[in-house]
A = this chain, B = another copy of it.
Amino acid sequence: MLSRRSLLAGPAAAALAAGADPAVAEAPATAKQAPGIYRYKIGTFELTALYDGIWYRPITDKFIHNAPFGEVEHALDVAFMPHDKLETPFTTLIVNTGKKLVLIDTGTGGQISPTAGMIGDNLAAAGISPPAVDQIVISHFHPDHINGIKDKDNALVFPNAEILVPAPEWAYWMDDAAMNAASAGLKLTFLNQRRIFSDIAKQVTRYEPGKEVSPGIVTLPAAGHTPGHTVFAIHSGDQSLMVLSDTAQHPAIFARHPDWQAAFDVDGREAVATRKKLFDRAAADRMLVTGYHFPFPACGHLVKTAGGYEHVPVPWQPTL
Are A10 and B127 in contact (CB-based, < 8 A)?
A: yes
Interface of A, helix, strand, loop or mixed by DSSP: loop
Contacts of A286 in B (CB 8 A): 80
Q: Digit string of A296-320 for contact with B (CB within 8 Å is 1, else 0)?
A: 1100110100000010111111111
Q: Mark A1-38, 1 if CB is under 8 A from B, else 0.
A: 11010011110000000000001111101111111111
Asked whether any CB of chain B lies closer than 8 Å to the CB of A99, the reply is: yes
Q: Are A98 and B316 in contact (CB under 8 A)?
A: no
User: Which residues, 186 to 218 on A, are CB-close (under 8 Å) to B?
Assistant: none
29 A-B pairs (CB sep. < 8 Å): A1-B160, A2-B132, A2-B160, A7-B129, A7-B131, A8-B128, A8-B132, A10-B127, A23-B99, A25-B98, A26-B98, A26-B100, A27-B96, A27-B101, A27-B132, A29-B96, A30-B48, A32-B39, A32-B320, A33-B38, A33-B317, A33-B318, A34-B37, A36-B318, A51-B316, A51-B318, A54-B318, A78-B312, A87-B315
Q: B-contacting residues of A (Cβ < 8 Å)?
A: 1-2, 4, 7-10, 23-27, 29-39, 46, 48, 51-54, 78-80, 87, 89, 96-101, 115-116, 118, 125-129, 131-132, 134, 160, 252, 286, 295-297, 300-301, 303, 310, 312-320
